[in-house]
Chain A
């Protein structure tokens, strides 16, 4: 053999194919046959072809003879014996066991691996969870974050039962393929139900806000750079859900216990907020541009500067600028020299909250809240009876109004209008529009006479029904409080129980007692006759009486004779007392008894009969009413002035009381529930002329913050306009708290901006950022932003009154540079999320964990639910735009 193994001569070597699956078993001995194994690995040595047995060759018949065909690679030429007569080879080849090639072995291994993989997948998917496991651990792409893992959630807790059918797969190119993500996101709201406002309406909109409001906030700030612009193109999607984002867009789960679901980069913020910020200190809008932190008028009127200079001049005189010091927790309360006197930090949110009224204000201002004027609620208003009866006497059907008590309060009892029938209120509104006032009807036109008469009879009907003893005596079958509630319901009052909160049950009895049984009986008969379409007869005028001395006096049934002393409440034809002669509506002087001349009876006696005070509590009223001996003129002087039952002392504490036939209410102090209820009801719809007039004249809002009637509520509590979705003014709200109706101490007016005072107080003092404006320019004083006297005349100038943007703070605008001193990338950080939140907090969501736990207790998770379980129709339908819209 040569030195080289291989012989490249084609006649000496076989052509070995590397892709064959089998090789001859004798190959290793160099004795492979020329046939080799077949495709199935069977040895073909000695196989019979056409009845001829093969050997080293398969002889070929040529010219009638069999010729050897042995290949040169296997010996060549013919052997000495030559082919057998039947054409078979005479040299048999030993059979072998063919061996698989590496290629075949590799193919076999590949198939085994594939089968094993399929088996493994089948086992993983078919495996039932063991005890303690939840859901299929095989398909779980990773551990949930710590917050979610504690829920022991199954897949169905977070993944909807939306099936991925062929139709969905074919729609992969379109936005409809978001069906699963949006359906899953709705499941997130099972727990995170405070996302997206009421009923999660905007849960999937940007910033979980109303898109219209968001657009209004973000318009005009775009300055895109090319990279972000390109990315923004990718961000935009086509289809109906283009403006909606699923929760999973930002919150990527299954990345481990410690994964941060809130990771969000500055650039990701800028995909929408495309103004290019190099950093917080360079490019970020200045605080002046966005009016931060004071973007709106404060809800509580509190002028820091005047408060210090007015009440604590000696304390601040020695300080620079005449301002108090900053945050000093040890500062004594009452000196008001430290911010801590009125502001306390909310630990969780980091906001500086205004402490309660009781802590901050009551020590000095509690008396102010009880010093307001009493409010006439139910009473006979002042009516120009002479003029009215004269007009009625000249009608085609001469008539009169009948009996009308003259002890009218100085102020019109506006709230009585809410107890009148609809037609009477309408009549009053027509009169008010024409500036026809009941107390002066001398120049009334005939076309207004029926309205005046209707209002007057409605008031008499009201008194008749309220004074009825038995339900059978009233058309409604109700008496007393029940009748009032019925009338309030009829006039559209929702919180009717609150509107007569604490009204003593015997108040009407006191009113009836004051007017006297005779008068009351007269009024009741007249009303009954009126309801039977019988009017009292006409009253002759003074001229007629002069001409006809025998003519009946104007009193007639409705006697105009001076009332007896024990029946002082009745008007008997005497000229209507002037306003000056009537009991004043406020202060101690309001209780000065009317002169004997004006009422035809000794003043002390009348006073004793005309007053009966009841505290706001009904029990107290019951115990007191009627028990106090009616002091006579002689005994009145003997009543010590400091007697707790003295009427002045009694009414000074506020509540319901009856006086001269009129039921009054006086503020009981701060946060009086009845006045709050009336104010909220009236302000609910200021488009109603009746309510607006009540607000303006009845509650004294035309005096602005000086309005005394409600206990000086508006001295501190401001009013804000309330508009509907179309931006039209519909009403107003009173800011009872330093925080809005839809905000809490933990939810500020800037829900997307956060600032933790506590973390900053460690390094800085309040005064470092909040610099007091010591010399405000003219017209830019703090008080100038709030409505003053005469600002409440009509509903047309609400912007002037309740425009929140017009605000001049007591403090200088905080410059951005103040924050940028520390907030740099290398020091305190300057990422967007450090100061801004993404989610707009919902007003009705749970404010804290305790509330959330209560919610969860009431709405437990569907722990046993499985995929395919029942889900809300919205998610089952896979509609991306059906996000629980109300």
Chain B
């Protein structure tokens, strides 16, 4: 069992144990006629605030506040725990008040986006590694431009050698849209290589009508298509790795604000501790 498996097992056991203890306490408090909603509410609010601190921790890398990976582990398992605490807080019932519904929806969005982010951050990095050369996301536009320039140079060189515009025409009709275009995250839905394979298929068909020099150039273009495929996949995957946070983080702040309002109202109208 490697380190990660051991860590996963340990943290899972810890969080499940915490849930069991929390549930037992909750049951006991209910038996004891204590205001469990107040207790679980405070616990849940504290958990959400603690989870939100992870974002702040990333903005303060210079502070010696444990490793980011430790924070992430806490964020993941405390997140699961907060979902369970939310169920306890709502007494396993669907809310019916307007503010409570808004709060529950926000919590669900944050929790589900967190779960989605967890799966994304666990599934995509290996795929990125398997896809080919790992790239820095911020440099991808530059590489795309460089690749496009390279392809154009190859095409120009082939035309110059052959004195034919066949290669140029093929480039304009088929290759230019592919190399000029940027990939979206929807590329990841289905087969990410489908576009590149279609281009390569067209190139293979076109090669039968080319002479030997142009076939060599076409071979170099095939390499460029393959690199573009990797570039597109890297772009789509790394964009998705960042885009899920566009849901998770903004809604987290909304959740905290609404939760604070909910807590204030609950204290004012319930006033029980």
Residues of A within 8 A of B (CB): 1, 3-6, 16, 18, 23, 27-30, 32, 101-103, 105-106, 109-110, 112-114, 116-118, 120-121, 124-125, 137-143, 155, 159, 162, 164, 168-169, 172-173, 177-181, 184, 227-228, 230-232, 234-235, 245-246, 248-250, 254-256, 265, 267-268, 271
Contacts and interface: CB of A to CB of B under 8 A. Distances in A.
A510 to B, nearest CB: 71
A4 B29 contact: no
Contact of B98 (A106, A124, A245): A124
A138 B32 contact: no
Contact of A235 (B33, B134, B137, B273): B33
Nearest to B253: A114
A234 B265 CA distance: 25
A109 B248 CA distance: 11
Contacts of B32: 231-232, 234-235, 271
Contact of A177 (B98, B249, B253, B272): B272
A110 B250 contact: yes
Contact of B145 (A29, A141, A254): A29
A318 B258 CA distance: 80
A256 B96 contact: yes
A67 to B, nearest CB: 28
Contacts of A29: 142, 145
Interface of B, secondary structure class, is helix
Given A6-B136, A138-B99, A235-B33, A110 B271 contact: no
A180 B270 contact: yes
Contact of A248 (B257, B265, B270): B270
6 contacts: A5-B133, A27-B141, A30-B142, A124-B98, A142-B96, A228-B31
Contact of A6 (B97, B133, B150): B133
Interface residues of B, number: 57
A762 B245 CA distance: 66
B271 A254 contact: no
A399 B135 CA distance: 138
Interface string B228-254: 000100000001001101100111011
Given A139-B269, A180-B269, 9 more contacts: A27-B141, A101-B138, A110-B250, A138-B98, A181-B270, A256-B93, A256-B96, A265-B31, A267-B31
Nearest to B33: A249
A106 B243 CA distance: 8
A4 B133 CA distance: 7
Contacts of B100: 141-142
Contacts of A6: 133-136, 139, 143
A184 B144 CA distance: 68
B37 to A, nearest CB: 8
A34 to B, nearest CB: 14
Contact of B254 (A117, A177, A246): A117
Q: Which of B29, B141, B147 has the largest count of A CB atoms less than 10 A from its CB?
A: B141
B138 A113 contact: no
Contacts of A155: 269
A71 to B, nearest CB: 16
A37 to B, nearest CB: 13
Nearest to A113: B250
Nearest to B150: A1
Nearest to A5: B143
A106 B270 CA distance: 37
A30 B145 contact: yes
B79 to A, nearest CB: 18
B10 interface: no
Contacts of B146: 1, 5, 30
A121 B141 CA distance: 41
Contact of A231 (B28, B139, B250): B28
Contacts of B249: 106, 110
Nearest to B255: A117
List the 8 closest pairs (A to B, CB-CB), nearest first. A180-B271, A28-B141, A113-B250, A235-B32, A142-B96, A141-B97, A234-B32, A177-B273
B127 interface: no
Interface in B138-178: 138-139, 141-147, 150
Contacts of A184: 271
A401 to B, nearest CB: 75
B142 A28 contact: yes
A471 to B, nearest CB: 66
A475 B194 CA distance: 125
A227 B227 CA distance: 66
A106 B97 CA distance: 30
Contact of A246 (B133, B139, B272): B272
Q: Which of A137, A164, A179 has the largest count of B CB atoms less than 10 A from its CB?
A: A164
Given A23-B138, A254-B97, A268 B33 contact: yes
B195 interface: no
A833 B91 CA distance: 22
Given A102-B242, A267-B31, A271-B33, A178 B271 contact: yes
Nearest to A143: B96
A18 B135 CA distance: 13
Given A27-B141, A113-B254, A141 B99 contact: yes
A30 B150 CA distance: 13
B1 interface: no
Contacts of B21: none
B75 to A, nearest CB: 17
B28 A181 contact: no
A414 B205 CA distance: 134
A114 B136 contact: no
A874 to B, nearest CB: 16
A110 B135 contact: no
Contact of B253 (A110, A178, A245): A110
Nearest to A140: B97
A109 B254 CA distance: 11
Given A5-B143, A178-B272, A114 B245 contact: no
A118 B34 CA distance: 32
Given A30-B142, A113-B253, A265-B31, A164 B223 contact: no
Nearest to B95: A142
Contacts of A102: 239, 242-243, 246
A524 B143 CA distance: 137
Contact of A178 (B91, B144, B147, B273): B273
A487 B130 CA distance: 113
Contacts of A180: 268-272
Q: Which of A106, A139, A235 has the largest count of B CB atoms less than 10 A from its CB?
A: A139
Contacts of B265: 139, 141
A23 B137 CA distance: 12
B102 to A, nearest CB: 8
B137 to A, nearest CB: 8
A28 B272 contact: no
A227 B250 contact: no
Given A141-B100, A142-B100, A267-B31, A255 B270 contact: no
Contacts of A271: 31-33
Interface in B167-197: none
B123 interface: no
Nearest to B101: A142
A143 B96 CA distance: 6
A106 B246 CA distance: 6
B235 to A, nearest CB: 12
B267 interface: yes
B34 A121 contact: no
A231 B31 contact: yes
A224 to B, nearest CB: 13
Q: Which of A1, A114, A117, A124 has the largest count of B CB atoms less than 10 A from its CB?
A: A117
B228 to A, nearest CB: 10
B34 A235 contact: yes
Contacts of B13: none
Nearest to B252: A110
Nearest to A169: B267
A256 B96 CA distance: 7
Nearest to B97: A141
Contacts of B93: 255-256
Contacts of A230: 28
